[in-house]
Structure 1
Amino acid sequence: MMVNCCGLLTASKEPVPLKSIEVEVEVRDHVATVVSTLNYENKEDKPIEAVFVFPLPGDAAVCHFSAKIGQKEIVAEVKEKQKAREEYDDALSSGQQAFLLEESEQSPDIFSLSVGSLPPGESASIRLEYVTELAVQADEGLRFCLPAVLNPRYQPQGSEAASVQVTSVPASLVPYNLSFSVRVSSPRPVSKVESSCSLDPLQYLNTEQTQATVKLAAGHKFDRDVELLIYYKDAHQPTAVVEAGQASAKPGTLMGDPVVMLSLYPEFPQAVMSSVAPCGEFVLLLDRSGSMSGACMESAKDTLLLLLKSLPMGCYFNIYSFGSSHEHIFPKSVEYSQETMEEALKKVGEMTANLGGTEILRPLKDIYSQPCIPNQPRQLFVFTDGEVGNTKEVINLVKRNSGSHRCFSFGIGEGASSALINGLAKEGGGHAQFITGTDRMQPKVMQSLRFALQPAVADISVKWDVPKGVAVTVLSPPITALFQGQRSLIYAQLTVKSHLISRIFRAAEGCVTVKYSLAGHPSKSQLNFSLKPAEDTGLTVHRLAARTLIRSLEMEETRRTRQQNEGVKKKVVEHSVQSGVSSVFTAFIAVNKGTGKAIQGPLVRRNVPTGLRECALFDDNMSYYNSADDCEDIHGFSYGECEEAYDGITVIRPAQPPRDPFLQLVSLQKASGCWERDPALAAALGKTSEEVENTKPSGVNQEVWATFLALIWLHGSKMEAQDEWELLAMKAASWLRAQNAPYATECVEAGNALLGFNVQKDALGL
């Protein structure tokens, strides 16, 4: 097995030249432009080469890279990767300063920055700029994440890719500091900005509250990903932004023509949605590698409990788990019933993070080898902390099987690979979620379950209606999935004959219509938009469009013959160089050719450490094990056993919260949706068995009474978590209706009196 072994480097053992990082973020509606300045200083007595491997969002379009030495600024160019590397090496060998920024060939969310020939006593500032789309969350917030944590990626057995060499330290020991500020502007008012990190108060810049600034509070340690959730009023409005082409670029090219970015939020007809009975084959795939140990694993198990209780009667399900090997609860998916649910929950309760490495490819192949069940659409839920080195191979496998299922992915904890999590959902026609810091996993997973229970949308087509003389070239891959109220983005290039440009774009309008079939019913969503270019957008839309096109071509390249690949690679390089946006086949290169005297002496290589999450293992010499996967390989015991099994190991893991009454109540629900009256239910409700029995209206069935009490308790004390229990409550209400139970009013009144609430009968869905 190949594992990334990373030593803990300290300032005393090996000086680190990265001193500070300054980040400025400009958020316009749902797009962020991020400018990072990395300040280096060589305090050694010899010239050094600093190498810093760090994470970026997987769908980011890196569009600017420059270096400032003294008063001189050198702006990097995008070149074919091998040429850029050769130019970098040539510059260093001739004693010149050079800077190289390149994307990992394994995963597009890992970048490597080489700062070459930094003389003794010299300082350098590196400026890196990228643009990225903000994902829509379960509660309608837009998520921005500045990745700070890069966990070493597990390299699966037999993988052809070379491992990314990441020098990692516990995030709290990272020797550089961070300053971080954000400016938000939108056509709609900014209602709030939240973060798992401490923020200074939100400052509004105008009375309409459409512009605001926010900063990290003083004293922040760069010890975890910086996640912001931005909320607008009436956020889910379809929008279109037309951006004028670059004046210096040739008309007819991507950068020379106007580009439009459409944000669509389809609303499905309610009559169709309510007429479709929920069904499906739900396959849950849980990461049980050592790095999932502790609170991550417990939260995942609680989430599986909630998921299993919320599944509809008549569906099918199975649970797979994986590490270096993989397991399944049933040989094949089984029909959902009280017996199969109980068996699954018993096995889930016994699960620990004891399966070693992160071999996600094998269980996926096993799942795809199972035949699909007629009239039960397959829905795959993948839970992982996303630390694998074969990201592209995994995503390609999902893509090849996208016609047979939808894939919903969940990145757990700091450092989860955004390229893997987003790629699984995008290529699998599903939805991606990230669970970090103190986030509860349950509401995000239940939102995805609601999406999975929606009927699959088929026969999706996009029709453009634009003025005569305008040609539309769609740059985004075809839409393969639509979900109620969820955003779909489309980028398109608008080519116009030169003599018509000013006339057409002054006052003309366009229209795009998305047609689709929902449960056999034809439906459509439509958006009219002005062709007049927006002001002050820079080239943000063009760069995001270029990134989308480049990513599509890179995915294409992995599925073609060698000869075809050369053609695809050539296209990627052309688009990357023309747009100034990074790709897997290109790199940014900057050479300081005006340094005059060549730098003397051999270069000393310094690897700048990146933070990794604080759920890790160290021995007495502070050598780092790659989460628990490495530890198990070296010492032959699992993460959970480390404290007792190996005298020199220290285990750092977050404290586990006590199990709450809500999860106790959920665990007692039957597959059919009802509850039975027993002491455990009374305890979850905070009452004695006698109190529950003595307040039951006469003539009422015990299960009916217990189910009323559970529903009243959920509505009375857990409304803030309604997203988590809404589906299982609907199932309970459906069960009550099927009983034709009399005394509903009496039960609600008696239940309110016992539990101290004032829940209305109508609120229970009866």
Structure 2
Amino acid sequence: MMNCCGLVTVKNEPVPLKSVAVDVRVQGHVATVTSTLLYVNGEERPLEAVFVFPLPGECALCHFSAKLGDTEVVAKLQDKQKAREQYDDALSSGHQAFLLEESDQSPDMFQLNVGSLPPGESAAITLVYISELAMQADDALRFCLPAVLNPRYTPQEMDRSKMATVTSVPAGMVPYTLALSAHLSSPQPISKVESNCALEPLVYLNADKTQATVSLSSGHVFDRDVELLLYYQDAHEPTAIVEGGQDSAEPGSLMGDPVVMLSFYPEFPAAVTSSLATCGEFIFVVDRSGSMDCRMHSGKDAKMRIESARDTLLLLLKSLPMGCFFNIYGFGSRFESFFPKSVEYKQNTMDEALQKVNGMKADMGGTEILQPLKHIYSQPCIPSHPRQLFIFTDGEVGNTKQVVDLVKLNVNSHRCFSFGIGQGASTALINGLAQEGSGHAQFITGTDRMQPKVMQSLRYALQPAVKDISVVWDLPDGVSVTTLSPPLKVLFHGQRALLYAQLKGESSGNPEGSVTIQYNLLEETVKNQLGFCLKPTGDTGVTLHRLGARALIRSLEVVERAGGPEAAALREELLQLSLQSGVSSTHTAFIAIHKGSGQAVQGPLLRRTIPTPMLSGSSSMSVFMSGFGGFGGYGCLAGRSAGPIEKARKKRGDRMGAKRTAETFEEGCYHMLDTKDILDKKVQEPESLTDPLLQLISLQKATGSWEMDSSMAKVLEKSDDELAKLMPVGADKAVWATTLALIWLYGLRLEARDEWQFVAMKAASWIQAQKVGCVSQCVQAGNALLGCQVQQKTLGL
């Protein structure tokens, strides 16, 4: 049984995927990624290899080819069902074939079938995709090459026969390496490049530092997501880039007309960014599946994901404004909420919630996020309190499209902020929730701390909402525009907004155009304008065309899934758009066939499932994974009889039947792993807070004040007598304690300001509301007690 797990062959030889080489070409905010996967069949019989792997959910997959010896076969994009039939027919006829298709459930999962690979032969598979680079809070552009594809939990009501099989192994057992090099080109100078992996030094290619190269250190084992953070000077400059149409494409078509990409960076006035809402309904939805019992990273002091989530909820609960409403949901195979409905935020409700947060464990089974969302949306909204969802998950779900569609359906009643925890979180899910929910997405990977990223999103949620967003084009006579991106529904301060549009027609005169984004903010109208040239010079490629096509394909797919009388027509429109642009979709697949001897395969093809790494911090999970050889490593000997085409098609049905049996086994393993029933692992009680910052924040009242007691003295590392002795005469004890807390934060924990900024703002507001005259004396005495030199103005007093 162990030999059929997909990790080794029947002779205990390594799986056929030997290495992965990646070339990244970055132009400004867009990356073109070329990945080459080398397969070798070291067995005595023909082999079919199956590799399920992740790609960024928002990328445009646009090229697939295979090289066998000196012969290269370039794949064609076809209707998915036709491509599958051609694949079966080719294998039955003795040819080599390659099939690459996107998962029906999630656009960030792909399955590659390599067959029939003769004994001793190698095949180099090359795929190319284009992706936008996400803007981070510190203005870095983030490129991520996902390596980890965790087993996706499949809800009971879903058809498991349609789910891609994921084979995962502990990170240290991944049997292939990665070579990655990146060429960077930017209109602005490149300041630096950082990574979660070891890099060779950055090499500049010109004097103004607008071009550079960087690469991973040699021998890198592809056992984690590879993240590059690119820093440009003046990265927030708005841009408009026009790409000319293809001469070979039909005029008037998407690929034949010019396409423009607009990048806007709204900068709000200081009065807006400093004013925070005092109302709202805040609902925190926290993943409590068994996988949340993994560590955040592989470092020595890594916390469990659920532990980091508890710390984050503490910060959130302390940072909410008085008078708002809130609730907390935990979900796994089932879900539960702290309160039957959202409650008003005050001292007693905050205390009750914190007590329940301290008892939260990763003990709720699988990852079923759809049902709690349905329940939340069934609750009536609270008048004058806009609903804001904060969703925390490691993203291991199998029904991504259903979840995202549900959020889109309810977008008019809420905003959704999403957080992907740990490596392997689905980019399609996390980004999709935020995009369709008019919110913002964050990923917490490696040694990232969850708290500052979550607090940044809370700031967005508390800022005044931008209303009535419109895009107005000013184009010469004879030129019109068709927007390819979905309408802009939300703008945040300092966050990039991207728009793609197709320019139609010809202008005999003025070659210039402009576009204006207009919106209302606190009853004032704001305008941002960009100009651009309608006719770019030289060969500009088709990168923006394909990203624009990808944006349109995703929008139409959401509408198609909603059903209705237009679904059939939409499917045909999607199919033609995908084929015309060369960008894969739900309805298409890449198929490549290399005609060999033409002799039908005799006997069964060996089927080998290539593993992807699954990172875990739980020793018991690692033991489980090692003992069973990883998920999806079953049914590897998929029979395929020699014979006519009809038999080959029948065999696809046989394989799917075997796959259904296998996935039932996978589902059982995943459930057992999540609940840890078979591991008999005792769930540890939550650890007491050891971080002095979190200890201090845990003592704050809902109003923003602190009380003078022994717990406060312990955090400040002073005795009760010292605190009492230095308190100014006539000062209120709570004002004195709250002033000391502020001085401690600003004087000793300034580097963590992103985490405690709202706590401090509440404290300063509370002190001001007391209207006492001893604040200056309290600040002076507090500085002397704590050995700080913080100015009263700095404290907001």
Report the TM-score range of the alignment, normalised by the length of the smaller protein.
over 0.9
Corresponding position: 1:523 with 2:507: no
1:3 is matched with which residue? Answer: none
Structure 1 vs Structure 2 CA RMSD = 2.4
2:725 is matched with which residue? Answer: 694
2:706 is matched with which residue? Answer: 675
Q: What are the within-5 Å matches in structure 2 for residues 265-280 of structure 1?
A: 265-271=265-271, 277-280=277-280
Corresponding position: 1:756 with 2:787: yes
Opposite residue 523 of structure 1, the aligned amino acid is V
| Matched-pair contact (CA < 8 Å) for 2:169–2:625 | no
Larger mean Cα displacement after TM superposition, 238-247 or 197-206: 197-206
1:596-635 CA distance string (max 9 Å, x none): 7666554211111111122435349711677998568449
Change (3 A) 1:260 1:603: same
Q: Tell me which of 464, 489, 494 is aligned to 1:480.
A: 489
| Matched-pair contact (CA < 8 Å) for 1:289–1:629 | no
Corresponding position: 1:450 with 2:455: no
1:605 is matched with which residue? Answer: 607
| Alpha-carbon distance, 1:229 to partner | 1.7
1:405 is matched with which residue? Answer: 414
Larger mean Cα displacement after TM superposition, 680-689 or 354-363: 680-689
Distance 1:523 1:512 in 2: 14
2:578 is matched with which residue? Answer: 576
| Matched-pair contact (CA < 8 Å) for 1:617–1:624 | no
Give SS of 1:618's match: helix
2:659 is matched with which residue? Answer: none
| Alpha-carbon distance, 1:577 to partner | 0.6
Q: How many equivalent residue pairs?
A: 746
2:568 is matched with which residue? Answer: 566
Distance 1:134 1:95 in 2: 42
Distance 1:304 1:631 in 2: 30
1:658-679 CA distance string (max 9 Å, x none): 7311111111111111111222
Distance 2:484 2:670 in 1: 46
Give SS of 2:783's match: helix
Give SS of 1:43's match: coil
| Matched-pair contact (CA < 8 Å) for 1:301–1:349 | yes
| Alpha-carbon distance, 1:201 to partner | 2.3
| Matched-pair contact (CA < 8 Å) for 1:88–1:100 | yes
Q: Tell me which of 617, 623, 642 is aligned to 2:628.
A: 623
Distance 1:72 1:621 in 2: 38
1:322-372 CA distance string (max 9 Å, x none): 111111111111111111111101100000000111111111011111110
| Alpha-carbon distance, 1:459 to partner | 2.0
| Alpha-carbon distance, 1:72 to partner | 1.1
1:177 is matched with which residue? Answer: 177
1:133 is matched with which residue? Answer: 132
| Alpha-carbon distance, 1:250 to partner | 1.3
Distance 2:721 2:41 in 1: 74
Q: What are the within-5 Å matches in structure 2 for residues 127-206 of structure 1?
A: 127-160=126-159, 162-206=162-206
Corresponding position: 1:538 with 2:549: no
Opposite residue 331 of structure 1, the aligned amino acid is P
| Matched-pair contact (CA < 8 Å) for 1:47–1:601 | no
Q: Tell me which of 505, 511, 514 is aligned to 1:511.
A: 514
Q: Tell me which of 763, 774, 793 is aligned to 1:732.
A: 763
Opposite residue 511 of structure 1, the aligned amino acid is S
Q: What are the within-5 Å matches in structure 2 for residues 231-310 of structure 1?
A: 231-271=231-271, 277-294=277-294, 295-310=304-319
Change (3 A) 1:686 1:533: farther
Change (3 A) 1:575 1:360: same
Distance 2:181 2:196 in 1: 15
Give SS of 2:566's match: helix
Corresponding position: 1:548 with 2:551: yes
2:404 is matched with which residue? Answer: 395
Corresponding position: 1:743 with 2:774: yes
1:379 is matched with which residue? Answer: 388
| Alpha-carbon distance, 1:143 to partner | 1.5
Distance 1:40 1:488 in 2: 40
1:374-401 CA distance string (max 9 Å, x none): 1000000000011111111111111110
1:681-738 CA distance string (max 9 Å, x none): 2222233323222222222211111111111111122222211111111111111111
Distance 1:587 1:632 in 2: 29
Corresponding position: 1:103 with 2:108: no
2:348 is matched with which residue? Answer: 339
Opposite residue 720 of structure 2, the aligned amino acid is S
1:638 is matched with which residue? Answer: 675
Larger mean Cα displacement after TM superposition, 513-522 or 385-394: 513-522
Change (3 A) 1:577 1:301: same
| Alpha-carbon distance, 1:14 to partner | 6.2
1:330 is matched with which residue? Answer: 339
2:747 is matched with which residue? Answer: 716
2:112 is matched with which residue? Answer: 113
Structure 2 runs not aligned, ≥5 long: 295-303, 633-665
Larger mean Cα displacement after TM superposition, 101-110 or 467-476: 467-476
Give SS of 1:398's match: helix
Distance 1:664 1:626 in 2: 40
Q: TM-score, normalised by structure 1?
A: 0.93
Change (3 A) 1:754 1:207: farther
Change (3 A) 1:394 1:624: farther
Distance 2:279 2:542 in 1: 45
Corresponding position: 1:587 with 2:594: no
| Alpha-carbon distance, 1:421 to partner | 0.6
Q: TM-score, normalised by structure 2?
A: 0.90
Give SS of 2:794's match: helix
2:74 is matched with which residue? Answer: 75
| Alpha-carbon distance, 1:564 to partner | 1.7
2:655 is matched with which residue? Answer: none
| Matched-pair contact (CA < 8 Å) for 1:8–1:623 | no
| Matched-pair contact (CA < 8 Å) for 2:513–2:532 | yes
Give SS of 1:91's match: helix
| Matched-pair contact (CA < 8 Å) for 2:94–2:596 | no
Give SS of 1:33's match: strand
Percent of aligned positions with the same letter in both sequences? 62
| Matched-pair contact (CA < 8 Å) for 1:99–1:113 | yes
| Matched-pair contact (CA < 8 Å) for 1:515–1:523 | yes
| Alpha-carbon distance, 1:556 to partner | 0.8
Corresponding position: 1:312 with 2:321: yes
Opposite residue 207 of structure 1, the aligned amino acid is A
Opposite residue 258 of structure 1, the aligned amino acid is P
Structure 1 runs not aligned, ≥5 long: 1-5, 646-650
Larger mean Cα displacement after TM superposition, 67-76 or 613-622: 613-622
Opposite residue 533 of structure 2, the aligned amino acid is S
| Alpha-carbon distance, 1:595 to partner | 5.7
| Matched-pair contact (CA < 8 Å) for 2:178–2:219 | no
| Alpha-carbon distance, 1:536 to partner | 6.6
Distance 2:323 2:551 in 1: 40
Larger mean Cα displacement after TM superposition, 718-727 or 15-24: 718-727
| Matched-pair contact (CA < 8 Å) for 1:17–1:43 | yes
Give SS of 1:622's match: helix
Larger mean Cα displacement after TM superposition, 419-428 or 188-197: 188-197
| Matched-pair contact (CA < 8 Å) for 2:166–2:631 | no
Larger mean Cα displacement after TM superposition, 538-547 or 191-200: 191-200
| Matched-pair contact (CA < 8 Å) for 1:618–1:625 | no
| Alpha-carbon distance, 1:743 to partner | 2.8
Distance 2:688 2:357 in 1: 18
Give SS of 1:494's match: strand
| Alpha-carbon distance, 1:195 to partner | 1.7
| Matched-pair contact (CA < 8 Å) for 2:170–2:622 | no
